[in-house]
Amino acid sequence: MYVLGIETSCDETAVAVYHADKGLIAHTLHSQIQTHNEYGGVVPELASRDHVRKLIPLIRQVLRDSRLKPSDIGGIAYTAGPGLMGALLVGAATARSLAWAWQVPAIAVHHMEGHLLAPMLEERPPDFPFVALLISGGHTLLITVEGIGRYRLLGESLDDAAGEAFDKTAKLLGLDYPGGPALATLAAQGKPRFKFPRPMTDRPGLDFSFSGLKTFTLNTYQNSERSGRDKADIAFAFQQAMAETLAIKCRRALQQTGLNRLLVAGGVSANLEIRRQLEQMCKQTRADLFFPRPQFCTDNGAMIAYAGCQRLLAQQSQDLNIFARPRWPMDELLNI
């Protein structure tokens, strides 16, 4: 079965085709970075309008690339949440309309489940069960994964998500949007001159809190000379603190669950320093570590097509109602 996957949760329009036996057939993506750059962040109305302009052309393109006709598609998967309501509605309405016109089932996919399953697209996917760290602009989650849809929350961010902390810190340092990659680039030029706290690592538990780290960064910057050298060293210290905090919590989660497999996904998982520290931690604990390839760390249609395919194969689908939830807890997902 060929499944068309549509992703429009925020500022990237992405489409892919996945086959249950042949794997990923084709995928394409349009980024809105240039659209939002001058505003220093995502403008929801502009994001929605750009999805409207780009989605149908991208669907046509991915069908051409995969040499498929609409009649070849056996199902459609689309991101229904979490995300920006207007952006989600573009993808949901398009997917539902095509499903009705092509007379195929459609399935609403949870955006973070898509990220969670992105490493399954790799040649060496993890076996169940495992611990998953999902780090993105809107979420920081530690989850035990026993199977698709069988998730147990271990810990989450009590305030800013990891990606949000990266973006806000980049903004206070005067860096361009998107802030996370810009801060990582600047940090590569920094030296270990400042020592930042590793928040909530001095107490038991697996929850995260990054608002204090962001405030500490702001105070350090305001008390510095605010030179280019200071900015680089502050970015370095912030990134080190973030990466080490994530590594400490993941080590704790592996010990608490008794599992020896760690999966890390989401946009922030592309950060090289975070990868390095997690790799070092897993080597010390003799745990296996799994990442998606960098192009599948950020939002993409391939992960949505894959997740949707698994649920459609399990005979899950919804009626013709347009379903979109800007807030959607993962524990409400159905098991397969």
Q: Is 299 annotated as a binding residue?
A: yes
Q: What are phi and psi of 157, to 5 degrees?
A: -75, 135
336 annotated among ligand-binding-site residues: no
User: Contact at 8 Å (CB) between 304 and 77?
Assistant: yes
As given in the structure block, the two tokens for residue 84 are: 């920006």
Is 248 annotated in a binding site? The answer is no
Residue 234 marked as a ligand binder: no
- Is 107 marked as a binding-site residue? no
Q: If you compute the radius of gyration of the chain from its CA atoms, what whole number of angstroms results?
A: 20
Query: Do the annotations mark residue 139 as ligand-binding?
Result: no
Q: Is 134 annotated as a binding residue?
A: yes
Closest CA to 153 of 161, 135, 141: 141
Residue 185 CA: distances (Å) to CA of 84, 179, 273, 331: 28, 10, 11, 36
The answer to whether the annotation marks 272 as part of a ligand binding site is: no
Check whether 110 is labelled as a binding-site residue.
no
Cβ(295)–Cβ(28) under 8 Å? no
CA 304 to chain centre: 11
Q: How many whole angstroms separate alpha carbon 94 and alpha carbon 99?
A: 9
The binding site comprises 111, 115, 134-138, 167, 180, 271, 299
The binding site for substrate comprises 134-138, 167, 180, 271
The binding site for Fe cation comprises 111, 115, 299
